[in-house]
């Protein structure tokens, strides 16, 4: 049986219902990952959990060591990865508290280490990134969301922005014009690095706020945290069904 990897984003620093087997904080060729790897078991399935922003939550999106995170998961034997992301909703259907399982991504980030293949290469490496998310994993996530009756969009375009600030209303207009449905700060280079390691990777995105300019109300951390508190319980149920199934 394969070992699952779960990367937790904002609001998800640990999994529930897991039989804990131990943890370690390995060194990689790219430094230490954001947090210790937590090893556990859900049913008969082994799982390794990693808090993307550290535990406690203190690493901003542009400072996450994405390369160390993905390298450490693969070195731990992980064979498929589900990433949880808190995002803003651009598409009208993506209200706060709804889910999206994106099938495409547009990268607007800059200054982040984007690849494992940079130094002392025997030849340049180009990966096929036409379809950035694993089709089988995304379909399984969509099926579970549907079975659990959770409001969701079964596909969408994730716009990865630099952060840590939220976007301007004009920037969201641009992203929407580019075809983006949701916006977050941690989708890249994480997805590309997983592809470089041949790790099947999917994103479970929880919409925690309307994107800038999509609501007449001011975006506040208090409102976002309230949605996260409600939504992360649903996230854990989805992950438990995915991994144990």
Amino acid 136: pLDDT: 97
Q: What is the pLDDT of residue 238?
A: 94
Q: Are 181 and 105 in contact (CB under 8 A)?
A: no
What is residue 13's predicted lDDT score, i.e. its pLDDT? 52
Which superfamily does CATH assign the domain made up of 3-113+130-244 to?
A: Nucleoside phosphorylase domain (3.40.50.1580)
**What pLDDT is recorded for position 55?**
86
Position 49 scores a pLDDT of: 94
Binding residues for phosphate: 10, 52-53, 186
* CA gap 228, 215 in Å, rounded: 18
Task: Report the first-to-last Cα separation within the chain, whole angstroms.
Answer: 12
Place of tokens 């990268």: 107
Domain ranges of the chain: 3-113+130-244
Query: What CA–CA distance (Å, rounded) separates 243 from 4?
Result: 7
Per-residue pLDDT, 104: 98
Query: How far is the CA of 134 from the CAs of 17, 52, 79, 182, 195, in angstroms?
Result: 26, 20, 12, 18, 9
Please report, in tens digits, the pLDDT of each residue of the chain (245 residues total): 589 999 986 656 556 667 888 999 999 999 999 999 999 988 889 999 999 999 888 999 999 999 999 999 999 999 999 999 999 999 999 999 999 999 999 999 999 999 988 887 778 889 999 999 999 999 999 999 999 999 999 999 999 999 999 999 999 999 999 999 999 999 999 999 999 999 999 999 999 999 999 987 777 788 888 888 889 889 989 999 999 87
Q: What is the DSSP string of 178-214?
A: HT-SEEESSSTTHHHHHHHTT--EEEEEEEEEEPTTS
Query: What angle, rounded to 10 degrees, do the helices at 221-244 and 135-147 form?
Result: 110
pLDDT at residue number 12: 62
- What's the pLDDT at 16? 64
Which pLDDT belongs to residue 9? Answer: 67
* Residue 158: predicted pLDDT: 98
Q: Give the annotated binding-site residues.
A: 10, 52-53, 185-186, 209-211
Helix or strand run (H / E) with residue 41 = strand 37-42
Contact between 183 and 211 (Cβ < 8 Å): yes
Round to whole Å and give the CA distance between 146 and 90: 21
pLDDT attached to residue 217: 77
Annotated binding-site members for substrate: 185, 209-211
């Amino acid at each position: 049986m394969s070992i699952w990897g779960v990367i937790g984003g904002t609001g998800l620093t640990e999994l529930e219902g897991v039989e804990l087997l131990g943890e370690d904080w390995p060194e990689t060729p790219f430094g230490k990952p954001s947090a210790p790897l937590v090893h556990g078991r859900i049913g008969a399935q082994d799982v390794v959990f990693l808090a993307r922003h550290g535990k406690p939550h203190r690493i901003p999106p542009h400072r996450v060591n994405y390369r160390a995170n993905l390298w450490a998961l693969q070195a731990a034997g992980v064979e498929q990865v589900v990433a949880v992301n808190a995002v803003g909703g651009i598409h009208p259907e993506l209200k706060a508290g709804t889910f999206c399982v994106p099938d495409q991504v547009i990268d607007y980030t800059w200054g982040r280490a984007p690849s494992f293949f940079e130094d002392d290469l025997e030849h340049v490496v180009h990966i096929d990134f036409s379809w950035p998310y694993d089709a089988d994993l995304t379909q399984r996530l969509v099926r579970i969301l549907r079975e659990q009756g959770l409001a969701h969009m079964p596909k969408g375009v994730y716009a990865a922005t630099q952060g840590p600030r939220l976007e301007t209303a004009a920037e969201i207009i641009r992203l929407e014009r580019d075809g983006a449905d949701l916006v977050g700060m941690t989708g890249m280079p994480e997805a590309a690095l997983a592809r470089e390691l041949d790790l099947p990777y999917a994103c479970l995105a929880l919409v925690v706020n309307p994107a800038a300019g999509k609501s007449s109300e001011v975006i506040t951390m208090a409102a976002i945290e309230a949605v996260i508190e409600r939504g992360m319980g649903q996230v854990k149920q989805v992950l438990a069904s995915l991994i144990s199934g």
